[in-house]
Every structure is written in structure tokens, then in C-alpha cells.
Structure 1
Amino acid sequence: MIIAVQILVLILVIFSTLLVISIPVTLASPGQWEQSKNLIYTGAGIWAGLVIITGVANSFIT
């Protein structure tokens, strides 16, 4: 179970890094917000889901 939580945390860190880089670039590019709005919201939803799943999985470790 510990390995599963470590993998979830690794995925969360990698995904967070991708979001930290991609969201400001998208917002700074002219006209990109309208094209990428759904992708950014989907990424934020996936990130929130990963945070919740990681927290729930971590609660089973004693």
C-alpha cells in the first residue's frame, strides 16, 4: 500500500509541475484562453481528484 501512495504522490507532483508551467503560458498567450479553457478546467479537476485519492489512500496507512 505504501508503494501505491508513493506512486500517486509521484503522479501528483509531475501533474502539478505540468500545470504550473502550462497554465501561465496559456494565459499569457493572446487568444489562447478561449481555445484552452476546457482543457485547463479538466486539468484542474484531474488534479483535485488526484489530491483526494492520494489523501484517502494515505489514510489507510498506519
Structure 2
Amino acid sequence: MTLVVQLLVFILVMLSIILVVGIPVTLASPGQWEKSKNLVYTSIGIWVGLIIVTGILNSFIA
């Protein structure tokens, strides 16, 4: 169970780094927002889901 939570946290950190770099680049690029809007919203949804799932699973460990 601890390994699963560690893996989820690792994925969460990697996705956070990608979003911190990717969203400003997408917003700054002319015309890219219309093309990438669904991908950005999907990535944010996955990020929020990872936070919720990680928090729930971590409550069983601590």
C-alpha cells in the first residue's frame, strides 16, 4: 500500500511539473489555446483526481 501511495505521489509531482511549464507556454503561444484547451482541462482533471485518490489512500496508511 505504501508503494502505491509513493507511486501516486511521484506521478502527481511529474504531472505538476508538466502543468507548471505547459500551461503558461500554451497560453503564451498565439492560437494554441483553442487547439490545446481540451488537453489542458483533461490534465487538470487528472491532477485533481490524483490529489483526491492520494489523500484517501494516504489516510489508510497514517
* Fold-level similarity (TM above 0.5): yes
Q: TM-score range by the shorter chain?
A: over 0.9
- The runs of at least 4 consecutive aligned structure 1 residues that moved more than 6 Å come to none
Deviation per residue, 1:31-61 (Å, 9 max, x gap)? 1111111110000000000000000010001
- Which residue number in structure 2 is paired with residue 52 of structure 1? 52
What TM-score do you get using the length of structure 2 for normalisation?
Answer: 0.95
Q: What pairs up with 1:34-45 in 2 under 5 angstroms?
A: 34-45=34-45
Root-mean-square deviation (CA, aligned residues, Å) is: 0.6
- Which residue number in structure 2 is paired with residue 11 of structure 1? 11
Deviation, structure 1 residue 15: 0.6
Counting matched residue pairs gives 62
Q: Gaps spanning 5+ residues in structure 2: where?
A: none
CA distance in 1, matches of 2:33, 2:60: 40
Q: Gaps spanning 5+ residues in structure 1: where?
A: none
Deviation, structure 1 residue 24: 0.4
**Quick one: percent identity of the two aligned structures?**
66
